[in-house]
Amino acid sequence: MSSTQMPQMLSTNFTIDPAQTRLAAEFKHSRPLFSCRFDPTGRFVFAGAQDNLVQRWDLATGQRTELAGHDSWVRGLAFLPGGGCLYSGDYAGRLACWPYAVESPQPMRTHEAHQGWLRSISVCPDGQLIATAGNDNMVRLWSTADGKLVRELAGHNCHVYNAAFDPTGRHLVSADLKGVVKHWDVATSTLVRTLDAAVLWKYDNSFRADIGGIRGMSFSADGRWLACAGITDVTNAFAGVGKPVIVVFDWLTGRAKPPLRPQQDFQGASWGVVYHPTGVVIGVGGGGGGGAMWFWRPDEPQSFFTFKLPAVARDLDLHPDGKRVAVAQFDGVLRVYDISPKPAA
């Protein structure tokens, strides 16, 4: 997930059956989609695209509303707990705050939050702070009350792809292009430790450029595990020839479990990951083989089910009901999939 937040679940019945995954709804836009997020009430789904707009669809009616106020593509989307306010961040470095549920949302506040791309937004579970991460190698904490910058967390030496609060809100992780995952104490803004996900990065000597980045990040609901999505085993950086992979850290020990890989051979990258409350890890991605959504059981490094997608997937989110997954796809369609067991006939 490009903008990481803990799912605020509306349901306690989280039974899923990925093998019965089915399309529940489709929402079309004219440009390839780039990010997506359900709002905490579960009424809307939002998407960023390869334009300067944010799309809002009402899940019940399909009504589409465009939110205009950005200067570049929007990759970061996150909500205050309980709803009311959407934060969005674009590749011009702008952070915007929207009263997202009104008929025609306009930005309440905007900040030039980063030099260069703002890649990720995460909201603290208590709603007091948001964290942003970007290409200026910085992580910044902002007050949700007045929008002011609270603190800057420096230490990454390359583009920061993601930031995420843990479920307690006392800890923040940030992760960069080279697979460096930093654990920060939120109260003191001090670096606690650094975790190593360098398997998600490579410097390609032929092309003389870096490839990698933690493109998606998600804590498990109990805060025990941290999943990081990306690409590994790269043989050709400029053609994107590599394998999608999820690196899962034991949050207590900081040790990585054996990386999660698709059961079937697949070429490309994983662009998003989310922990389902059952402990199942859901990842999406794409590449030369098209798009796919993979499901892993907690202790199995190979996916137990792959759902082929019509197009490359750039992001996903879990609906607060725990039964539906939104996937932002290259063909401009946001698809909502039902992963719950089919009702008995």
Partner 1 sequence: MLCRYDCGSPEHQITRRSLLAGLAGGAMGTFGISRFAVPAVAEELKSAQKRVLIIFLAGGSSQLETWDPKPNTDTGGPFRAIPTSVPGVHISELLPYSAKQMHRMAIVRGINTAEDDHGQGAYIMETGRRPDNVTRFPALGSVMSKFVGPADSPLPGYIHIQPGGAGYNKQDSAFLGPKFASVSLGDGNPPPNVVRPESLTESADRMRNMLRQRANERFAARRRTAETEAYSYSYEQALQLMERREVFDVSKESPQDLERYGTHDFGRHCLLARRLLENGVTCVKVTHSNYDTHWENFDFHIEQLGEFDRPFASLIGDLADRGLLDSTLVVVMAEFGRTPRINAGLGRDHWSRAWSVALAGCGIQHGAVVGKTNPNGTQVTDREVHGGHLFHTYFRALGLDSKQKYHVGGQPVPVADQTVGPIEELLA
**55 lies in the binding site for partner 1 (CB under 8 A):** no
CA 139 from centroid of its chain's CA atoms: 16
**312 lies in the binding site for partner 1 (CB under 8 A):** yes
DSSP class per residue in 52-106: SEEEEEETTT--EEEEE--SS-EEEEEE-TTSS-EEEEETTSEEEEE-TTSSS--
For partner 1, the binding residues in 73-132 under the rule CB under 8 A are 73, 90-92, 116-117
Binder among 237, 260, 292, 318 for partner 1 (CB under 8 A): 237
CB 129 within 8 A of CB 117: no
For partner 1, the binding residues in 142-171 under the rule CB under 8 A are 159
Q: Which stretch binds partner 1 (CB under 8 A): 9-17, 122-130, 141-149, 237-245?
A: 237-245
Structure token pair of residue 140:
């910044």
Binder among 61, 104, 188, 206 for partner 1 (CB under 8 A): 206
Is 248 exposed, middle or buried (CB count within 10 Å of its CB: 0-12, 13-18, 19+)? buried
The neighbouring-strand residues paired with 53 are 68
Q: CA-CA distance, 284 to 18, in Å (whole number)?
A: 13
**68 lies in the binding site for partner 1 (CB under 8 A):** no
Give min distance, CB of 60 to partner 1, in A.
30
Binding mask 9-48 for partner 1 (x = CB under 8 A): ---------------------xxx----------------
Q: CA-CA distance, 113 to 163, in Å (whole number)?
A: 14
Give min distance, CB of 92 to partner 1, in A.
6
What is the contact surface with partner 1 in residues (CB under 8 A)? 30-32, 50-52, 71-73, 90-92, 116-117, 135, 159, 206-211, 213, 237-240, 268, 286-287, 311-312, 330
